[in-house]
Amino acid sequence: MAMPETTTEVPQDFEALKAAILERKAELPKRLRQVAAYSLDNPDEIAFGTAASIATSAEVQPSTLVRFAQHFGFEGFSSLQQIFRARLRERTPGYEDRLKALSANDHSKLESGSIFNGFVAAAHRSLDNIASSVDPEAFERAVDILAKADTIYLIAKRRSYPISSYMAYAFGKLKVRYQLVGTAAGIDDDMLAMATKNDAAFAVSFSPYASESAAQARLLAERKVPVVSLTDSAFSPLAESSKVWFELVEADHAGFRSLSASMAFAMALTVAIAEKRQRLAEGDQAERNG
């Protein structure tokens, strides 16, 4: 007999399938592993797509999908797809059900759970807060200033530094020229000395304010470099040096503030700038051609 007496059971639900895939992923050949990764990362695509469309999206041949399904004991791709569909069927979507799901994972029963819940809740509150406190016109102006800048100087220290370092990463990907200010103390001022009024700066500082950041912002403002800033109080020393500034108070949990809302804000600003830049560039090009 070629067949082993007891074959591994064919997974009957998504969880079992996921477990099976993770267990066997190491021993899978290249393309099948590719499908394995895709299927766990894009389960919805598998549920709704056709074999052809999924194959294209996962950069595989349709036949590979069939083989993949058969490797896990299914008759063909279609029967594997049923698992992915059932997953969506069972999950009752909607707001109320999501809350139930949240309490099903009741973190608060365990010691650290309430901390986790607390920070998630605080982040939600922070997001609600910026949605209503950020003035859309101010946002538009900020985007405008920064999109027109030659080089964007990112000023942030300590608690704000993760925000600017993320923006730096994103700007790099988006091909927007920037300078990250806030690393080695000595170099910073030399860097800023090169800024002209064709550049712009984005400064972030939360209480307790790093005096350096405020000083650097003031320095730039004096030299007519437009400054946009993000801070947590109207009394922030940054405000007076800034053409546009945003007040963003992160909700706290037990006195600790995360940066969830600031991150969302930073990302929105970054992408909005990049998008506007592209539009400006296209306009220039059209002008030159016309």
The whole-angstrom separation of Cα 269 and Cα 140 is 9
State the minimum distance, in angstroms, from the CB of residue 286 to a copy of itself: 18
Chain CA centroid to CA 256, Å:
21
Which 8-state DSSP code applies to residue 8? Answer: P
Pair 179, 151: CB distance under 8 Å: yes
State the minimum distance, in angstroms, from the CB of residue 177 to a copy of itself: 18
The whole-angstrom separation of Cα 290 and Cα 284 is 10
The whole-angstrom separation of Cα 132 and Cα 144 is 21
Taking each continuous run of H as one helix and of E as one strand, the counts in the chain are 13, 7
Question: Residues 43, 45, 51, CA angle at the centre, nearest 5°?
Answer: 115
Of the candidates 156, 96, 120, 145, the residue with the CA atom closest to the CA atom of residue 260 = 120
State the minimum distance, in angstroms, from the CB of residue 221 to DNA: 23
Site for DNA in 132-151 (CB under 7 A): none
Binding flag, residue 227, DNA (CB under 7 A)? no
Host H or E run for residue 245: strand 244-247
What is the secondary structure of 133-179 as a DSSP string?
HS-HHHHHHHHHHHHH-SSEEEEE-GGGHHHHHHHHHHHHHTT--EE
Number of residues that this document lists for the chain? 290
Which does residue 101 bind out of a copy of itself, DNA, none, counting CB within 5 to 8 angstroms by kind?
a copy of itself
- Of residues 140 and 189, the one with the C-beta less far from a copy of itself: 140
- The residue from 52, 110, 187, 271 that contacts DNA (CB under 7 A) is 52
Which does residue 36 bind out of a copy of itself, DNA, none, counting CB within 5 to 8 angstroms by kind?
a copy of itself
Which does residue 106 bind out of a copy of itself, DNA, none, counting CB within 5 to 8 angstroms by kind?
a copy of itself
Which does residue 78 bind out of DNA, a copy of itself, none, counting CB within 5 to 8 angstroms by kind?
DNA
**Strands 244-247, 227-231: pairing kind:** parallel
Window contacting DNA (CB under 7 A); options: 49-57, 109-117, 154-162, 253-261: 49-57
The whole-angstrom separation of Cα 101 and Cα 89 is 15
Which does residue 62 bind out of DNA, a copy of itself, none, counting CB within 5 to 8 angstroms by kind?
DNA
Which does residue 276 bind out of DNA, a copy of itself, none, counting CB within 5 to 8 angstroms by kind?
a copy of itself
State the minimum distance, in angstroms, from the CB of residue 30 to DNA: 4
- The residue from 63, 198, 207, 285 that contacts DNA (CB under 7 A) is 63
- The residue from 12, 13, 15, 29 that contacts DNA (CB under 7 A) is 29
- Of residues 79 and 105, the one with the C-beta less far from DNA: 79
Window contacting DNA (CB under 7 A); options: 75-83, 93-101, 137-145, 181-189: 75-83
Which does residue 10 bind out of DNA, a copy of itself, none, counting CB within 5 to 8 angstroms by kind?
none
Host H or E run for residue 130: helix 113-133
State the minimum distance, in angstroms, from the CB of residue 36 to DNA: 11
Binding site for DNA (CB under 7 A): 29-32, 50-53, 60-67, 69, 75-79
